[in-house]
Structure 1
Amino acid sequence: MKDRLKNFTKVQKRIAVIVTVTAVAAAGTVGTVFAVQKKNSSESTTSYREYTVKKGNVTVGTTESGTVSLDQKSITFPIDCEVGTYLVKSGTTVKKGDALVSLNLDSISENSSETKQKLEAAKVTLQQALNDQNIKLETAKITYESSKALAESAPVTKELTESELQNNISTAQATLDKDKKDLAAYTELQKSWKSDYEKLQQLKTWMDNAETSKSNYETQLSKYKEDNDTVISEYDKLKSAAESAREEYLAAKANADDENDYSEEKDAYDDAKSAVDTYYSGVAASIVTEENNLEDKVAEYTASYTNYTSAYNDFKDTYDKKYDVTDTELDDKVTSLKASVQTDEYNLKKAQKTAQISSASADTKEATDLNTAAGAQSTYDLTVNQLSQAVSSAQADCDTLQEKIDEINNAMNGNGVITSPCDGIVSSVSYTDGSDVTANEAIMTISKADTVSMDVSVSEDDITNVSVGQDADITLSAYDGQTISGMVESITAEPARSGSSSVSYTVTVKAAADSSSIGTVYEGMSGEATIVQGEAKSVIYVSNKAITFNNGVSTVLVKKSDGSNTQKTVTTGFSDGTYVEITGGLSEGDTVLAESAVKS
């Protein structure tokens, strides 16, 4: 404890003391001050100050002043355009996705054609690079294999040895190839498993939803028929009677020689049909129509359920055949094969190295052939690298242009509105409504709300106690009493000030927590950063003034509930110079007294 206090009071160090209390807002409590005259003395009065035992954090740290820095995000557009209307002003707080500015759609449309043409040209260039790569790689491979064949020639006297060595290499290569092939196959299964599984679940969801809808409509139809049974039954009865009359009329007509022979049946049919039509138009039309609609829905979802069930069962059969292992077993298999491939590569290299050593006594021609093969390998590798770089460069050009086109299309689809890519504050607006903007120029700038940092100068005496990743806190003058937790992000290697007796280094403290919890934070706000050097969390503590040290024993004067005082022995722990941790002897909420003599 003494060593800790000695370090704390080191000359020229500025130490911040922070006490976080869980029960109340105040960091330390100074109680009532009162005086009691000692017995047998008219010359001296004892003054007591009350302190309440609290629970919280006792923290020691180096505190320095600084100003807030926020990362800046420039809002740009990939082509020349015209600003329509700014939807926010400088100083506006925005959320990710908020509308910032609307661009003139005509200007976007007019200026996007060149970018589209460049993209098409880039796609052609990429395809040419791919074709060129395939052709030249095949040629280079033939040349390489031809040159490599020279190195495989060996003296007749070493023919049997070379055969055995080559067999060892071939075996190692075959093992490697097999494991690589298996690894590739299982890796592909591993890649496709998630999407196939999600597809299977989607099909099941569709099937279940269709079944639910089918059941719901069947229930509705049954209920509807039950509720409207009188009308529906009467309508069906009239329709049936009309159909019977029609059949009788047609039969009579077919067998009659004269129109008068079936006039009675015709009149009966006309009357029955008229009754149906009259009842339908006057009573049953809406009910029958709704009944037909519900029957159509039942038929529709019955068909959907049948189709989805068939699709689900078919795909499940395919899925079960394709994946004969679980996803965990699949991961384990890939891990195992990766390890096998590494072992196979080592065995192959070992066999190749053995062959090289055993062939060391080859004649001059063999050495020449080996040199030729080595040169062919380098040439082949160089060719492969150059062709790969050409394809990568062409692909990068395509990707960049495609991103621009996507950004243009997003703007067109959103009526020209550009939205905020992040939470923050509009720090600057570069143009005015109706202004022309050059491609990729900043239309406005946003200070990102979640990137609060502060640069502070730490003296050379204190810098040795600071390291990257160390806990730190940021407090702002504008938000007194509120703290943003963070950590040390970087420390400059060069001194911030030199050439005098004082040398310091710039330390950047980055906020780890979301600063929005305390309010809006602006670029340049003043405050302090405290770099935590020692901390006792969630402990019982009291003011150092209440502790009496005598012969290595710490005691306190405790005020009892009845107003009397009693002395208790306590065990102390971590101290920040103002407060001390109590590890035994007191409880949270106890009241202790600090005594001082006042001469009267």
Structure 2
Amino acid sequence: MDEKKIESSMGELENKERDTKMGKKYKALSKKTIAIVVGVMILAPTGVITYTKFKDSNETNSELVSREREYEVKRGDIIAGSNGSGSLKLQAVNQNFEEPVEIGELFVKEGERVSIGDKIATISEKFINDKLEELNSQLERATATLVSTKNNKQVTVLNQNKAWEDKVQGSKNQYESQRNSLVNNINQLTDKLNDVNKKLEDVRRQIEEMQNLATARNVDENHVLQENSTVEDTNLLQESNETKESDAEEIEAKLQELKLTESTLLSEKSLLETEIKNTNQSLNSLDVERTKEKESEVKEESANREINALTNSELDHSINNAQKEVDKINEQIAKVNKLKENSTLYAQIDGTILNLNYTVGSTTSSEIPIVTIGENAKVFAEITVTQEEITKIEEGQRVNLIVSAYQDQMLEGTVSFINLKPNGQGSSVNYSVMVEISENDLKLLEGMTVSAQFIVKDVKDVLTLSNKAITLKDGKQFVQVKQDDGTLKEVEITTGFSDGKISEIVSGLSEGDTVVVGG
């Protein structure tokens, strides 16, 4: 009997059951009853369903149906959780050359399996050689610029120092020249003054001698007059006086001459002293001006240093930039030489080529890898979960999975990442959850479909029974246990954890017991 006929028969039986009392196994319609029993056995996960049809010879349209379901008490696990579905994702490993290059040759295709050490791609040899030639040319120009910049600074610094030293030395030389001239002038004037003083001293000595001589002559004359009073003596005295008068006049004339010389020398001395004084004042003024000039030079030197520092800083900046350019090009040359030594890209893992982003002759970039390899040893499942279920899921949560290609094998996994950015909007909002699948021996491929159950709670190795076999009376739970002789016995039970379909049996039943519903 096919499934539709079974459902039709079940409908008829349920209608008849509404006209009969529940709990009896059979109901007699007539003494002359022709019983036609059609037994249909439908195997279900939790029991056996039996359909019996009776036909009364007197009431041909009357049927009696009795339905009986059996559920076995088994030992097993009960799992409650949230469900979702999605597809497998391999752990992706991106591979690329360290620098952008031109692809010379490719050895793989998308979807192809590779092993560690397999060739993926090579760099164009022409690209390497052209790049090195270009960089070496740039290096020559950059090195020339660096040398020129350094020389420019050296010349500038030398010119700065020379200009300042020339100015300072010029001021110093001018001062020393003027000072030496004044000192020499003072020395010459001093020598002249000393000479005048000597002459003056000599003249004064002569004047004093002449004055003393004149005084001595006057004394002698008086003495002679007193001692010679005779006529003869008087005559002699007169002659002597005449001689002395002549000498006195000569002395007086000499004395006047000496005094005139003294006066001249005094005038000359006064002029020399005045000139020496003025020259000393000029010398002092020159020294004062030089002191001020040196103070000004110190300030000017400080200002020049700041100006020169700015200039030198700009020059240093230019040198640094030139040096950086040289260093940069040298680094690029080193990188290209390294690429030349390692011009072949090899597979780093065993896996499947998921993406091949370039063709021969194309130029790579740092942002887009040459190849993406899915690691066979590490597989993830990307599961779509509804907004009602996502709140029950957390990282580290255990997950049971069934891959469509392997329906008879359950895999285990762990939630590794929850993407809280929603997919969709309105009432159909979903979220993506990444599940890392535990190690297994299956050949899992990128894109295979998978269903998942995120375990919220579970109990292991407990007695289980279908909830359909349990009835409630006055807040207590009862079941009809089938005895060895086929009779039924009502037993009170205690249940524990339930997933909504199966319940844990805590007490009242044993493993292997058969519980009957209906009859």
**Same-fold call, TM cutoff 0.5:** no
Q: TM-score if structure 1 supplies the norm length?
A: 0.38
* Larger helix proportion of the pair: 1
| Structure with bigger gyration radius | 2
Q: TM-score if structure 2 supplies the norm length?
A: 0.43
